Copies of this chain bind each other. A is one copy, B any other.
């Protein structure tokens, strides 16, 4: 039975981390909210879901009767089923920790344009957004990249686990792509500063299923309704 992915239509957003894993594995899935009436069906399902698996917010995955929500949780669940997670229990938790660090990066990237409240327009929190973006570019991006670059270097391979590819490589690729879209000035020295991460990004991009997906209509372009938004006034040169 096909997996059912539920996420807002029209943006990559948090759903994209799940799409990339499903696409890489060549899994059968339906992007439910992109069908006619799909968003309404998703809202109804969220409202009516009973029991502790009731999602707080999209994305969530339906696998038969099982509902799993939160990106990192969905990937932890799917990883072994899609052949994108290591066998060893401790390593699985290591990959999950890396994914949760990406979750934090994604939240912080979102909050650069919405530092006060999601319910307010960007235009109504622009000054705070500028201040938060500066700190994010100057302090947080280097800290996150430094963490992943260090692990990658120690791994001795192309991937965060060395020679073993896993779903977190896809998520790191997506985070790097998103940051390039949102902050092209800040990321202009990326290839020079972070050659290992550049290598991982290129290696993901040229995996056959991913390359095919990125060229397809299923890959929604980055835009200003997603997590990673390009507001030129929030972008600035990076410290190094």
Which residues of A approach B to under 8 Å, CB–CB? Answer: 50-56, 66-70, 72-73, 76-77, 90-91, 93-98, 100-101, 104, 107, 111, 115-117, 119-120, 125, 128, 131-132, 135-136, 139, 144, 147, 150-151, 154-155, 160-161
Q: Could you name 25 residue pairs across A and B whose Cβ atoms are closer than 8 Å?
A: A51-B94, A51-B151, A51-B155, A52-B91, A52-B95, A52-B98, A52-B155, A52-B161, A54-B150, A56-B144, A68-B90, A68-B93, A68-B94, A68-B97, A69-B97, A70-B101, A73-B97, A107-B107, A115-B115, A115-B116, A117-B132, A117-B136, A119-B139, A120-B135, A125-B131
Please state if A135 and B119 are interface contacts (CB–CB under 8 Å).
yes
CB-based nearest B residue for A152: B52
CB-based nearest B residue for A63: B90
Least Cβ–Cβ distance between A129 and chain B, in angstroms: 10
Please state if A50 and B116 are interface contacts (CB–CB under 8 Å).
no
Q: Cα distance A144–B56 when bound, in Å? A: 8
Please state if A128 and B116 are interface contacts (CB–CB under 8 Å).
yes
A147 CB contacts on chain B under 8 angstroms? 54, 56
CB-based nearest B residue for A136: B117
Please state if B117 and A52 are interface contacts (CB–CB under 8 Å).
no
A52 CB contacts on chain B under 8 angstroms? 91, 94-95, 97-98, 151, 155, 160-161
A56 CB contacts on chain B under 8 angstroms? 97, 101, 104, 144, 147
Least Cβ–Cβ distance between A74 and chain B, in angstroms: 9
A97 CB contacts on chain B under 8 angstroms? 52-53, 55-56, 68-70, 73
CB-based nearest B residue for A64: B90
Please state if A96 and B117 are interface contacts (CB–CB under 8 Å).
no
Please state if A117 and B94 are interface contacts (CB–CB under 8 Å).
no
A160 CB contacts on chain B under 8 angstroms? 52
Please state if B100 and A73 are interface contacts (CB–CB under 8 Å).
yes
Please state if B135 and A116 are interface contacts (CB–CB under 8 Å).
yes
A70 CB contacts on chain B under 8 angstroms? 96-97, 100-101
A96, A116, A120: residue with the most chain B Cβ atoms closer than 10 Å: A116
Other 4 A-B pairs with CB < 8 A, given A55-B97, A56-B144? A54-B147, A115-B132, A116-B135, A117-B139
A139 CB contacts on chain B under 8 angstroms? 117, 119
